[in-house]
Structure 1
Amino acid sequence: MNKAGILVVEDDKAIKNLIATTLELHGYRYICCDKGELGILTAASQRPDIILLDLGLPDMDGVEVIKKVRSWSSAPIIVISARSEDNDKIEALDAGADDYLTKPFSVDELLARLRSTQRRLSYMQTQAERQSPVFTNGELSIDFAAGYATLEGKELHLTPYEYKLLSLLAQNMGKVLTHSFIVREIWGTTWDGEVASLRVFMASLRKKIEKNPSHPQYIQTHVGVGYRMLRREE
């Protein structure tokens, strides 16, 4: 797998140097900048594969950077921020970020997030090339054209909402989807009261696709934030 090209938008010199050194040691191509506007211009001109973005930038809030980049680019954005409250994570993810890494972080965790994001990019590219209406992840398959899912070759008996939820997570595999995003996509509303319904359907769905629902292998919970479908090895 070729190493991705990374844009680092970070104004803290110590953190920026740590990230740059880590990327260089592990063979990544990278560009660094320390302001939001410059980050947006660099993203537009250089077209990086992945963007590492701090939220607390000197000229503008990182969430605004996410929104502007998302208006024309689908490049994965991994937020690296000292803001650790759930509301901050939700705001960034809802704006279009793909992942959220809280400072202080370990080099190993940063590299793991990059590898995960790059695998997702590779998988999406492969799927696009195949142009297949069938999604496969480990022993789970979804035939979007026929409208049904199977596990270990056996059809899953899903309710319409369970199927829509599973399909939404599959179509965004590797990306954290917030409660509000899922509710808006599944129920067509922004009413927070539907989050309780989401949890009920998620619990029911997990019983059908997870061998051990208390230790899920397909759908990961981000407490207070949302859910993510994990990529299983073939």
Structure 2
Amino acid sequence: MTKILVIEDEKIIGEMISMYLTDEEFSVCRVESGQEGIDAISSFAPDVILLDLMLPDMDGIELCEKVRAYSDTPIIIISMNSKVNERVRALNAGADDYLVKPFSMQELKARIGVAVRRYKPSAPAAETDVRAYVAAGAAMEPMSANHGITLDLQKRLLAVHGQPIDTTFSEFELMKLLFQYPGRVFTRDELINTLRGIDSYVNDRAIDVHITNLRKKLELNPKEPHFIKTVWGVGYKLNLE
């Protein structure tokens, strides 16, 4: 049974979400503060975290960053704030999706399903060519030592010259796709679909933020990248030559 941790201090909203997800046969744990959320992540071990940005003891973005420092569990932000810069800020902090209140419970369930499929690659894949490999979780040979990057799908580990690199859930999913098709140019729309699925709030700017962060972690000189290349007017590709 999929376990959902709801970190939401508004009692009515929290109870509505919890009741709906319980009726849909999810296992739900609801807490009302950031510290309770941190404790529940350890004790409850959720498959997906629903995180409100306005908490009584800490900012939701701060909590997202703290969680992402030691866990790659998918985080879906639920917030009243619909501004694009706030969404980008949340994604940059390590969130994997962003839902604006009020939202449809059916949409929430669908977003959770997408997050679970991405986090558990062995789950059935979505029927799209670009995402089929990512969702299937097929074994991948370690990359040649000539370029120094290794991707371990089973351990969800990205390493550069043998040194593990911390990545967010979304950053790792992008690297999985790029590694499967080195040299192929992916449009931003294709990358958005890979991470979010249909009807996502993620936009072009969010993809650019993820790519910028990956470059900082992978490249000797992020301003003159060797691995993740920009194809102006189109998107990005991975260079392993």
The interval holding the TM-score normalised by the smaller chain is 0.5 to 0.7
Distance in 2 between residues matched to 1:105 and 1:146, nearest whole Å: 35
Alpha-carbon deviation of 1:143? Answer: 8.6
Alpha-carbon deviation of 1:40? Answer: 1.0
- The residue that corresponds to 2:15 in the other structure is 17
Percent identity of paired positions between Structure 1 and Structure 2: 36
- The residue that corresponds to 2:161 in the other structure is none
Distance in 1 between residues matched to 2:181 and 2:96, nearest whole Å: 29
The counterpart of 1:181, out of the listed 192, 210, 215, is 210
**2:233 is aligned with 1:200:** yes
Distance in 1 between residues matched to 2:177 and 2:75, nearest whole Å: 27
Distance in 2 between residues matched to 1:20 and 1:10, nearest whole Å: 10
Could you tell me whether the CA contact under 8 Å between 1:10 and 1:33 is conserved in 2? Answer: yes
Distance in 2 between residues matched to 1:34 and 1:17, nearest whole Å: 11
After superposition, the Cα gap between the structure-2 partners of 1:142 and 1:109, relative to the gap in structure 1 and judged at 3 Å, is: closer
Equivalent residue of 2:233, what SS? helix
Letter in 1 for 2:208: H
CA RMSD after TM alignment: 3.5
Could you tell me whether the CA contact under 8 Å between 1:90 and 1:178 is conserved in 2? Answer: no
After superposition, the Cα gap between the structure-2 partners of 1:53 and 1:130, relative to the gap in structure 1 and judged at 3 Å, is: same
Equivalences, count: 175
Alpha-carbon deviation of 1:179? Answer: 2.1
Distance in 2 between residues matched to 1:17 and 1:199, nearest whole Å: 47
Distance in 2 between residues matched to 1:81 and 1:198, nearest whole Å: 34
After superposition, the Cα gap between the structure-2 partners of 1:48 and 1:143, relative to the gap in structure 1 and judged at 3 Å, is: closer
Alpha-carbon deviation of 1:169? Answer: 4.2
Alpha-carbon deviation of 1:51? Answer: 0.2
The counterpart of 2:140, out of the listed 132, 135, 149, is 132
- The residue that corresponds to 1:95 in the other structure is 93
- The residue that corresponds to 1:52 in the other structure is 50
The counterpart of 1:61, out of the listed 49, 59, 65, is 59
After superposition, the Cα gap between the structure-2 partners of 1:11 and 1:145, relative to the gap in structure 1 and judged at 3 Å, is: closer
Q: Deviations over 1:132-162 (max 9, x none)?
A: 249xxxxxx97947835xxxxxxxxx4xxx3
| Mapping for residues 12-161 of structure 1, pairs under 5 Å | 12-123=10-121, 130-133=138-141, 144=179, 147-148=182-183, 158=184
Distance in 2 between residues matched to 1:145 and 1:17, nearest whole Å: 42
Letter in 1 for 2:233: V
Equivalent residue of 1:123, what SS? coil
Unaligned runs of 5+ in 2: 125-133, 143-175, 197-201, 224-229
Distance in 1 between residues matched to 2:83 and 2:112, nearest whole Å: 22
After superposition, the Cα gap between the structure-2 partners of 1:109 and 1:145, relative to the gap in structure 1 and judged at 3 Å, is: closer
- The residue that corresponds to 2:152 in the other structure is none
Distance in 2 between residues matched to 1:174 and 1:39, nearest whole Å: 25
